[in-house]
Amino acid sequence: MSVLVTGGGGFLGRYLVEQLLQHGESVRVLGRQRYPDLERLGVECIQGDLRDASAVEKGVKGCDVVYHVAAIAGIWGLWSDYYGINVEGTDNIIAACKAWNVERLVYCSSPSVTFDGTDQKGVDEKAPYPETWLAHYPHSKSIAEQSVLAANRPGTLLTCALRPHLIWGPRDQHLIPRLIARAKTGKLRVVGDGKNLVDMVYVENAASAHIQAAGALLESPEKVGGKAYFITQGAPVRLWDWINDILALEGLPPIRKRVSANVAYYAGAMMETAYKMVGRMNEEPRMTRFLARQLATHHYFDISAARHDLGYSPKISTEEGMRRLADDLASRR
Protein backbone atom coordinates (compact mmCIF):
# COMPACT_ATOMS: atom_id res chain seq x y z
CA MET A 1 0.00 0.00 0.00
CA SER A 2 0.90 3.65 -0.25
CA VAL A 3 0.81 5.34 3.14
CA LEU A 4 1.37 8.84 4.47
CA VAL A 5 2.89 9.58 7.87
CA THR A 6 2.54 13.18 8.98
CA GLY A 7 5.34 14.08 11.34
CA GLY A 8 7.37 11.15 10.03
CA GLY A 9 10.60 12.93 10.89
CA GLY A 10 9.72 13.12 14.59
CA PHE A 11 10.37 10.73 17.44
CA LEU A 12 7.35 8.42 17.12
CA GLY A 13 6.99 9.12 13.42
CA ARG A 14 10.41 7.72 12.53
CA TYR A 15 9.76 4.45 14.33
CA LEU A 16 6.41 4.19 12.55
CA VAL A 17 8.04 4.86 9.18
CA GLU A 18 10.69 2.20 9.84
CA GLN A 19 8.11 -0.40 10.80
CA LEU A 20 5.99 0.38 7.74
CA LEU A 21 9.05 -0.06 5.52
CA GLN A 22 9.70 -3.41 7.18
CA HIS A 23 6.12 -4.38 6.24
CA GLY A 24 6.92 -3.55 2.62
CA GLU A 25 4.75 -0.44 2.40
CA SER A 26 5.42 2.51 0.12
CA VAL A 27 5.90 5.36 2.57
CA ARG A 28 5.51 9.09 2.15
CA VAL A 29 6.23 11.67 4.86
CA LEU A 30 4.78 15.15 5.24
CA GLY A 31 6.85 17.46 7.45
CA ARG A 32 8.13 20.99 7.79
CA GLN A 33 11.60 20.02 6.58
CA ARG A 34 13.38 17.53 4.37
CA TYR A 35 14.75 14.30 5.83
CA PRO A 36 17.67 13.05 3.69
CA ASP A 37 18.17 10.00 5.93
CA LEU A 38 14.58 8.90 5.29
CA GLU A 39 14.92 9.60 1.57
CA ARG A 40 17.92 7.29 1.49
CA LEU A 41 15.61 4.57 2.83
CA GLY A 42 13.26 5.12 -0.12
CA VAL A 43 10.78 7.37 1.68
CA GLU A 44 9.17 10.14 -0.34
CA CYS A 45 9.43 13.37 1.65
CA ILE A 46 7.07 16.27 1.05
CA GLN A 47 7.86 19.53 2.76
CA GLY A 48 4.88 21.48 4.01
CA ASP A 49 2.87 22.82 6.93
CA LEU A 50 -0.34 21.18 8.15
CA ARG A 51 -2.02 24.59 8.03
CA ASP A 52 -1.40 24.72 4.26
CA ALA A 53 -4.30 22.83 2.69
CA SER A 54 -2.51 22.52 -0.67
CA ALA A 55 0.56 20.96 0.94
CA VAL A 56 -1.66 18.53 2.85
CA GLU A 57 -3.50 17.55 -0.33
CA LYS A 58 -0.19 16.92 -2.06
CA GLY A 59 0.82 14.62 0.80
CA VAL A 60 -2.47 12.74 0.94
CA LYS A 61 -3.11 12.30 -2.78
CA GLY A 62 -2.73 8.69 -3.91
CA CYS A 63 -2.45 7.20 -0.42
CA ASP A 64 -4.49 4.30 0.94
CA VAL A 65 -3.80 4.96 4.62
CA VAL A 66 -2.89 8.13 6.51
CA TYR A 67 -1.19 8.06 9.91
CA HIS A 68 -1.61 11.54 11.35
CA VAL A 69 1.14 11.80 13.96
CA ALA A 70 2.29 15.41 13.56
CA ALA A 71 1.29 17.94 16.23
CA ILE A 72 2.59 20.79 18.30
CA ALA A 73 3.07 19.53 21.84
CA GLY A 74 3.95 21.34 25.03
CA ILE A 75 2.68 22.93 28.22
CA TRP A 76 2.89 26.58 27.15
CA GLY A 77 2.45 28.84 24.16
CA LEU A 78 -0.16 30.67 22.11
CA TRP A 79 -3.61 29.19 21.54
CA SER A 80 -3.43 30.30 17.91
CA ASP A 81 -0.41 28.04 17.34
CA TYR A 82 -1.98 24.99 18.99
CA TYR A 83 -5.32 25.57 17.28
CA GLY A 84 -3.74 26.20 13.89
CA ILE A 85 -1.55 23.10 13.80
CA ASN A 86 -3.48 20.62 15.91
CA VAL A 87 -7.06 21.55 15.00
CA GLU A 88 -7.00 23.26 11.60
CA GLY A 89 -4.17 21.02 10.46
CA THR A 90 -6.21 17.94 11.37
CA ASP A 91 -9.25 19.40 9.61
CA ASN A 92 -7.08 19.76 6.49
CA ILE A 93 -6.03 16.11 6.79
CA ILE A 94 -9.65 14.96 7.09
CA ALA A 95 -10.74 17.07 4.13
CA ALA A 96 -7.90 15.79 1.96
CA CYS A 97 -8.64 12.18 2.94
CA LYS A 98 -12.23 12.64 1.82
CA ALA A 99 -11.25 14.42 -1.38
CA TRP A 100 -8.79 11.72 -2.44
CA ASN A 101 -10.78 8.69 -1.26
CA VAL A 102 -8.33 7.56 1.40
CA GLU A 103 -9.52 4.31 2.97
CA ARG A 104 -8.27 4.71 6.53
CA LEU A 105 -7.08 7.47 8.86
CA VAL A 106 -5.34 6.66 12.14
CA TYR A 107 -4.91 9.66 14.40
CA CYS A 108 -2.30 9.92 17.17
CA SER A 109 -4.11 11.60 20.04
CA SER A 110 -3.20 11.80 23.75
CA PRO A 111 -4.62 10.55 27.06
CA SER A 112 -4.42 14.16 28.24
CA VAL A 113 -7.63 14.81 26.29
CA THR A 114 -9.42 13.29 29.31
CA PHE A 115 -7.25 14.89 32.03
CA ASP A 116 -9.02 17.35 34.33
CA GLY A 117 -6.21 17.71 36.84
CA THR A 118 -7.35 14.95 39.19
CA ASP A 119 -6.29 11.32 39.63
CA GLN A 120 -7.05 8.87 36.82
CA LYS A 121 -6.85 5.33 38.18
CA GLY A 122 -7.47 2.61 35.62
CA VAL A 123 -9.90 4.69 33.60
CA ASP A 124 -11.08 3.44 30.21
CA GLU A 125 -12.32 5.15 27.06
CA LYS A 126 -15.63 6.08 28.69
CA ALA A 127 -13.80 8.85 30.56
CA PRO A 128 -15.31 12.17 29.37
CA TYR A 129 -13.56 15.19 27.95
CA PRO A 130 -13.08 17.84 30.68
CA GLU A 131 -15.15 21.00 30.81
CA THR A 132 -12.11 23.15 31.64
CA TRP A 133 -8.50 22.86 30.52
CA LEU A 134 -5.15 23.50 32.18
CA ALA A 135 -3.19 23.79 28.91
CA HIS A 136 -3.72 24.43 25.21
CA TYR A 137 -2.22 21.14 24.07
CA PRO A 138 -4.82 18.74 25.52
CA HIS A 139 -7.62 21.14 24.64
CA SER A 140 -6.58 21.36 20.99
CA LYS A 141 -5.94 17.62 20.77
CA SER A 142 -9.41 16.87 22.13
CA ILE A 143 -11.04 19.03 19.45
CA ALA A 144 -8.99 17.33 16.75
CA GLU A 145 -9.70 13.86 18.12
CA GLN A 146 -13.43 14.48 18.12
CA SER A 147 -13.26 15.70 14.51
CA VAL A 148 -11.40 12.57 13.44
CA LEU A 149 -13.82 10.23 15.17
CA ALA A 150 -16.84 12.09 13.79
CA ALA A 151 -15.40 11.73 10.27
CA ASN A 152 -15.71 7.94 10.38
CA ARG A 153 -18.01 6.84 7.56
CA PRO A 154 -18.05 3.14 6.57
CA GLY A 155 -17.63 2.85 2.83
CA THR A 156 -16.08 6.32 2.63
CA LEU A 157 -13.43 6.92 5.29
CA LEU A 158 -12.63 4.75 8.30
CA THR A 159 -11.06 6.51 11.28
CA CYS A 160 -9.86 5.82 14.80
CA ALA A 161 -7.65 7.53 17.37
CA LEU A 162 -4.89 6.21 19.61
CA ARG A 163 -3.91 7.73 22.93
CA PRO A 164 -0.33 6.64 23.68
CA HIS A 165 0.80 7.86 27.08
CA LEU A 166 4.28 9.20 27.85
CA ILE A 167 6.17 7.82 24.84
CA TRP A 168 9.82 7.11 25.60
CA GLY A 169 12.81 5.24 24.24
CA PRO A 170 16.06 5.62 22.29
CA ARG A 171 16.48 8.68 20.02
CA ASP A 172 14.10 10.78 22.10
CA GLN A 173 15.18 14.42 21.77
CA HIS A 174 12.66 15.97 24.17
CA LEU A 175 11.37 14.21 27.30
CA ILE A 176 14.42 12.32 28.52
CA PRO A 177 17.05 14.92 27.54
CA ARG A 178 15.04 17.58 29.37
CA LEU A 179 14.78 15.44 32.49
CA ILE A 180 18.50 14.84 32.48
CA ALA A 181 19.30 18.51 31.83
CA ARG A 182 17.07 19.68 34.70
CA ALA A 183 18.54 17.11 37.05
CA LYS A 184 22.09 18.20 36.19
CA THR A 185 21.25 21.83 36.99
CA GLY A 186 19.50 20.93 40.24
CA LYS A 187 16.11 22.20 39.01
CA LEU A 188 14.19 18.94 39.35
CA ARG A 189 11.94 18.38 42.35
CA VAL A 190 9.64 15.55 43.36
CA VAL A 191 6.13 17.04 43.17
CA GLY A 192 3.72 15.61 45.73
CA ASP A 193 4.37 12.51 47.82
CA GLY A 194 6.26 10.74 45.03
CA LYS A 195 3.96 7.72 45.13
CA ASN A 196 1.79 8.51 42.10
CA LEU A 197 1.45 5.75 39.51
CA VAL A 198 1.58 6.57 35.81
CA ASP A 199 1.36 4.65 32.58
CA MET A 200 3.84 5.08 29.78
CA VAL A 201 4.63 3.31 26.51
CA TYR A 202 7.86 2.30 24.81
CA VAL A 203 8.12 4.02 21.44
CA GLU A 204 8.26 0.87 19.29
CA ASN A 205 5.13 -0.46 20.97
CA ALA A 206 3.36 2.83 20.26
CA ALA A 207 4.38 2.64 16.60
CA SER A 208 3.20 -0.97 16.30
CA ALA A 209 -0.17 -0.01 17.77
CA HIS A 210 -0.75 2.42 14.90
CA ILE A 211 -0.17 -0.28 12.31
CA GLN A 212 -2.40 -2.69 14.21
CA ALA A 213 -5.12 -0.03 14.35
CA ALA A 214 -5.01 0.44 10.58
CA GLY A 215 -5.33 -3.30 10.11
CA ALA A 216 -8.20 -3.52 12.58
CA LEU A 217 -10.05 -0.74 10.76
CA LEU A 218 -9.95 -2.87 7.63
CA GLU A 219 -10.84 -6.16 9.32
CA SER A 220 -13.43 -4.92 11.82
CA PRO A 221 -14.63 -1.47 10.75
CA GLU A 222 -17.87 -1.79 12.68
CA LYS A 223 -15.92 -2.46 15.89
CA VAL A 224 -13.01 -0.04 15.58
CA GLY A 225 -14.26 2.79 13.39
CA GLY A 226 -14.96 6.05 15.19
CA LYS A 227 -13.35 4.93 18.46
CA ALA A 228 -10.39 6.03 20.59
CA TYR A 229 -7.99 3.69 22.40
CA PHE A 230 -5.52 4.13 25.26
CA ILE A 231 -2.09 2.69 24.47
CA THR A 232 0.41 1.92 27.27
CA GLN A 233 2.82 -0.71 28.55
CA GLY A 234 -0.10 -2.19 30.45
CA ALA A 235 1.68 -1.89 33.81
CA PRO A 236 1.92 1.48 35.59
CA VAL A 237 5.08 2.55 37.37
CA ARG A 238 5.79 4.95 40.19
CA LEU A 239 6.63 8.09 38.23
CA TRP A 240 9.44 9.34 40.42
CA ASP A 241 11.03 5.92 40.83
CA TRP A 242 11.06 5.58 37.06
CA ILE A 243 12.53 9.06 36.62
CA ASN A 244 15.27 8.18 39.11
CA ASP A 245 15.95 4.96 37.17
CA ILE A 246 16.46 7.04 34.02
CA LEU A 247 18.76 9.46 35.82
CA ALA A 248 20.76 6.50 37.15
CA LEU A 249 21.48 5.47 33.57
CA GLU A 250 23.37 8.76 33.27
CA GLY A 251 25.13 8.25 36.58
CA LEU A 252 23.04 10.95 38.27
CA PRO A 253 21.83 10.74 41.88
CA PRO A 254 18.12 10.31 42.63
CA ILE A 255 15.92 13.35 43.16
CA ARG A 256 15.51 13.93 46.89
CA LYS A 257 14.19 17.47 47.18
CA ARG A 258 10.41 17.77 47.27
CA VAL A 259 7.68 20.33 46.81
CA SER A 260 4.05 19.79 47.75
CA ALA A 261 1.48 19.35 45.00
CA ASN A 262 -0.43 22.46 46.09
CA VAL A 263 2.68 24.65 46.27
CA ALA A 264 3.71 23.51 42.77
CA TYR A 265 0.21 24.19 41.42
CA TYR A 266 -0.01 27.72 42.82
CA ALA A 267 3.56 28.46 41.78
CA GLY A 268 2.59 27.37 38.27
CA ALA A 269 -0.46 29.64 38.33
CA MET A 270 1.65 32.63 39.39
CA MET A 271 4.28 31.93 36.75
CA GLU A 272 1.63 31.65 34.05
CA THR A 273 0.17 35.00 35.08
CA ALA A 274 3.56 36.67 35.19
CA TYR A 275 4.63 35.31 31.81
CA LYS A 276 1.38 36.47 30.21
CA MET A 277 1.71 39.94 31.68
CA VAL A 278 5.17 40.47 30.21
CA GLY A 279 4.39 38.72 26.91
CA ARG A 280 6.74 35.76 27.36
CA MET A 281 4.48 33.33 25.51
CA ASN A 282 7.35 31.74 23.58
CA GLU A 283 9.40 31.04 26.70
CA GLU A 284 8.18 28.10 28.77
CA PRO A 285 7.80 28.70 32.52
CA ARG A 286 9.61 26.35 34.86
CA MET A 287 6.23 25.28 36.27
CA THR A 288 2.60 25.48 35.11
CA ARG A 289 -0.67 24.28 36.60
CA PHE A 290 -0.91 21.47 34.03
CA LEU A 291 2.65 20.30 34.69
CA ALA A 292 2.16 20.40 38.46
CA ARG A 293 -0.92 18.21 38.24
CA GLN A 294 0.69 15.81 35.76
CA LEU A 295 3.70 15.32 38.04
CA ALA A 296 1.69 14.77 41.22
CA THR A 297 -1.40 12.76 40.24
CA HIS A 298 -2.09 9.16 39.32
CA HIS A 299 -2.84 8.63 35.65
CA TYR A 300 -2.98 5.08 34.40
CA PHE A 301 -5.43 3.48 32.03
CA ASP A 302 -7.33 0.33 31.16
CA ILE A 303 -6.11 -0.90 27.77
CA SER A 304 -8.52 -3.83 27.52
CA ALA A 305 -10.23 -2.29 24.50
CA ALA A 306 -6.96 -1.98 22.57
CA ARG A 307 -6.04 -5.55 23.44
CA HIS A 308 -9.46 -6.85 22.34
CA ASP A 309 -10.22 -4.69 19.31
CA LEU A 310 -6.75 -4.03 17.90
CA GLY A 311 -4.89 -7.12 19.06
CA TYR A 312 -2.47 -4.79 20.81
CA SER A 313 0.02 -5.97 23.38
CA PRO A 314 3.33 -4.36 24.34
CA LYS A 315 5.83 -6.63 22.61
CA ILE A 316 8.84 -4.90 24.17
CA SER A 317 8.84 -4.95 27.94
CA THR A 318 9.70 -1.97 30.07
CA GLU A 319 12.83 -3.79 31.28
CA GLU A 320 14.03 -4.42 27.74
CA GLY A 321 13.16 -0.86 26.77
CA MET A 322 15.27 0.47 29.62
CA ARG A 323 18.19 -1.67 28.49
CA ARG A 324 17.89 -0.23 24.99
CA LEU A 325 17.61 3.29 26.40
CA ALA A 326 20.76 2.74 28.47
CA ASP A 327 22.65 1.72 25.32
CA ASP A 328 21.35 4.77 23.48
CA LEU A 329 22.34 7.20 26.23
CA ALA A 330 25.78 5.60 26.43
CA SER A 331 26.26 6.05 22.68
CA ARG A 332 25.57 9.80 22.99
CA ARG A 333 28.28 10.46 25.57
Condensed to tens digits (0 to 9), the pLDDT of residues 279-293 reads: 999 899 999 999 999
Q: Which of 107, 137, 202, 265 is catalytic?
A: 137
Question: Per-residue DSSP letters for 116-165?
Answer: -SS-EEEE-TTPPPPSS-SSHHHHHHHHHHHHHHHT-BTTTBEEEEEEE-
Q: Is the pLDDT of residue 202 over 90?
A: yes
- The Cα–Cα gap between 293 and 134 comes to 9
Condensed to tens digits (0 to 9), the pLDDT of residues 19-77 reads: 999 999 999 999 999 899 999 999 999 999 999 999 999 999 999 999 999 999 999 99
Q: Is the pLDDT of residue 332 over 90?
A: no
* Domains in the chain: boundaries: 2-169+200-234+301-315
State the average pLDDT for the chain. 96
Q: Is the pLDDT of residue 321 over 90?
A: yes
- The Cα–Cα gap between 120 and 135 comes to 17
* Radius of gyration of the chain measured on its C-alpha atoms: 20
pTM: 0.96
Q: Identify the bridge partners of residue 210 per DSSP, sorted by sequence position.
A: none
- The Cα–Cα gap between 276 and 279 comes to 5
In this predicted structure, what is the pLDDT of residue 265? 97
Condensed to tens digits (0 to 9), the pLDDT of residues 130-179 reads: 999 999 999 999 999 999 999 999 999 999 999 999 999 999 999 999 99
Whether 129 is catalytic: no
Lowest mean pLDDT among 177-191, 212-226, 301-315: 177-191
- The Cα–Cα gap between 85 and 62 comes to 23
- The Cα–Cα gap between 216 and 68 comes to 16
Note whether 90 and 70 are within 8 A (CB).
no
Share of the chain above pLDDT 90, in %: 97
In this predicted structure, what is the pLDDT of residue 333? 79
Superfamily, domain 2-169+200-234+301-315: NAD(P)-binding Rossmann-like Domain (3.40.50.720)
